[in-house]
């Protein structure tokens, strides 16, 4: 039976939860966003002999960006070309949406060790447009301090490319409105950060050792309130000289590397 790519359905939940359980040591976010992605649309599954063994998602972001995410293949079916098939389907979808005037570029982010995805992206005309470090921390390493939730403004978006979890937006009024709907902004002693709703990956809006030292207890407070024992920070590649100091503050890299470990790819369609 030929593999089938189709729209995801509510009854696919058990299969997708199984894939999430077997990805990233059981820490994959796929199961948590299942309902949201169903409502949003452009959420697809790959079915083989009646079994859902893969997923892929396209999310419309500000600036006519088609954001590719959630490409997964069940571990028992990897190495058979199914990931490539899903990727090709999403490229065709992007081309169609571009012809309809809905998007102008495709983008996605991946971890620096995901060599298969990186090689596939480069073959298909994607290029790296931004690099970031993601670092982890434990709530227990800090004395959590409650921050103040604030209304955000464009002046708060100090970075040209703004991380919102594992999505990345370009600075604009449209992006600000998107972030207001999808994320929360906090202030602690004049220093500000954002975090997507329901997630625990923080974006400091002031980047420096002294400012992060102030913000980390506040981030720990938010993470604890959301039921997380650990949390992450997404920082621009320019913090590379600060890595030794960041480690002294209680942050750690997922894998020991001196280079940015999150790569943002972009392919222009129009």
Contact 81, 66 (CB under 8 A): no
Q: How many CA atoms lie within 13 A of 104 on its CB side?
A: 4
If pLDDT is split at 50, 70 and 90, which confidence band does 2 have? confident
Q: Which residue has 């495709």 as its token pair?
A: 106
pLDDT in the model for residue 24? 77
pLDDT in the model for residue 255? 83
177/179 Cα distance (integer angstroms): 5
pLDDT in the model for residue 116? 86
- Whether the per-residue pLDDT at 172 is higher than 90: the answer is yes
Instruction: Evaluate if pTM is beyond 0.75.
Output: yes
Average pLDDT of the residues of the chain? 94
pLDDT, one tens digit per residue, over 49-74 is 999 999 999 999 999 999 999 999 99
CATH of 131-263, one of 3.40.630, 2.40.10, 2.60.40, 1.10.3470: 3.40.630
Angle at the Cα of 172 from the Cα atoms of 205 and 137, rounded to 5 degrees: 25
Mean pLDDT (whole number) for 6-35? 90
What CATH number labels 4-103?
A: 3.40.630.30
Contact 73, 53 (CB under 8 A): yes
252/98 Cα distance (integer angstroms): 40
Comparison of pLDDT for 198 and 6, the residue scoring more: 6
- Whether the per-residue pLDDT at 134 is higher than 90: the answer is yes
244 burial class (0-12, 13-18, 19+ CB within 10 angstroms)? exposed
pLDDT in the model for residue 25? 76
- Using the Cα atoms of residue 64, residue 68, residue 70 and residue 74 in order, give the sign of their dihedral: positive
pLDDT in the model for residue 256? 78
Distance of CA 10 to the CA centre of its chain: 23
């Amino acid at each position: 039976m030929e593999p089938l790519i189709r729209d995801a359905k509510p009854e696919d939940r058990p299969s997708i939860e199984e894939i999430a359980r077997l990805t990233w040591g059981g820490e994959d976010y796929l199961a948590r966003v299942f309902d949201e992605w169903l409502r949003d649309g452009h959420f697809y599954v790959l079915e083989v002999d009646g079994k859902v063994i893969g997923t892929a998602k396209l999310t419309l972001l500000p600036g006519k960006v088609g954001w590719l995410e959630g490409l997964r293949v069940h571990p028992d079916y990897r190495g058979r070309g199914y990931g490539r098939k899903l990727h090709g389907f999403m490229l065709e979808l992007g081309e169609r949406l571009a012809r309809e005037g809905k998007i102008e570029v495709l983008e996605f982010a991946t971890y620096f060790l995901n060599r298969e995805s990186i090689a596939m992206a480069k073959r298909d005309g994607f290029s790296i447009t931004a690099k970031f470090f993601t670092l982890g921390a434990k709530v227990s390493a800090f004395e959590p301090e409650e921050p103040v939730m604030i209304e955000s403004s464009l002046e708060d978006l100090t970075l040209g490319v703004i991380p919102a979890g594992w999505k990345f937006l370009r600075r604009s009024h449209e992006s600000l409105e998107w972030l207001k709907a999808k994320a929360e902004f906090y202030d602690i002693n004049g220093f500000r950060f954002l975090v997507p709703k329901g997630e625990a990956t923080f974006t400091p809006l002031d980047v420096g050792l002294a400012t992060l030292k102030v913000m980390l207890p506040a981030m720990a407070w938010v993470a604890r309130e959301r039921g997380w024992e650990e949390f992450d920070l997404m920082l621009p590649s320019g913090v590379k000289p600060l890595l030794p100091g960041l480690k002294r503050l209680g942050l750690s890299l997922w894998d020991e590397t001196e280079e940015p470990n999150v790569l943002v790819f972009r392919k222009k369609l129009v």
